[in-house]
């Protein structure tokens, strides 16, 4: 192993320390999501408030994985435009979402949409 002009070893070296690989040995990389991807996926999740859960249950609305994916995409689009509170219309469902907190505030099914007035929103996304 040769040293460069500054006194550092040249060539590939793995981490050195107790229990770590020895100098000159190769370091195996693991497969799977990158560290930053873990936090990105967690930060994209949509939470559902207790009020919204009660509304979903009482109205027989199921937010299956396909609908949740559609909702996440709609919230991402609203966030990219600077929205804070958004009405998301999907199929036969209207959902009010706090974009900043990524939380469903309430949900209304298609049968209950008629004659409803949605207040305190600054945007609408049709998904």
pLDDT of amino acid 122: 96
The predicted pLDDT at position 38 comes to 43
* Alpha helices per DSSP H over the chain: 35-44, 50-58, 65-80, 110-113
Q: The whole model's pTM is what?
A: 0.65
Nearest-angstrom CA–CA distance, 91 and 110:
8
Q: Among 91, 85, 84, 96, which Cα is nearest to 48's?
A: 96
pLDDT in tens, the chain (127 residues): 555 555 555 555 555 555 555 555 555 555 655 655 544 444 679 999 999 999 999 999 999 999 999 999 999 999 999 999 999 999 889 999 999 999 999 999 988 888 888 999 999 999 9
């Amino acid at each position: 192993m040769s040293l460069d002009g500054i006194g550092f070893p040249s060539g590939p070296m793995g981490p050195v320390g107790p229990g770590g690989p020895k100098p000159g040995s190769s370091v195996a990389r693991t497969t799977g999501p990158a560290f930053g991807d873990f936090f990105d996926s967690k930060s994209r999740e949509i939470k559902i408030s207790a009020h919204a859960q009660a509304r979903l249950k009482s109205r027989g609305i199921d937010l299956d994985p396909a609908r949740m994916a559609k909702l996440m995409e709609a919230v991402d689009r609203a966030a990219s435009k600077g929205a804070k509170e958004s009405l998301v219309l999907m199929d036969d469902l209207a959902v009010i979402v706090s974009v900043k907190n990524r939380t469903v505030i309430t949900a209304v099914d298609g049968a209950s949409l008629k004659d409803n007035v949605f207040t305190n929103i600054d945007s609408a996304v049709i998904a």
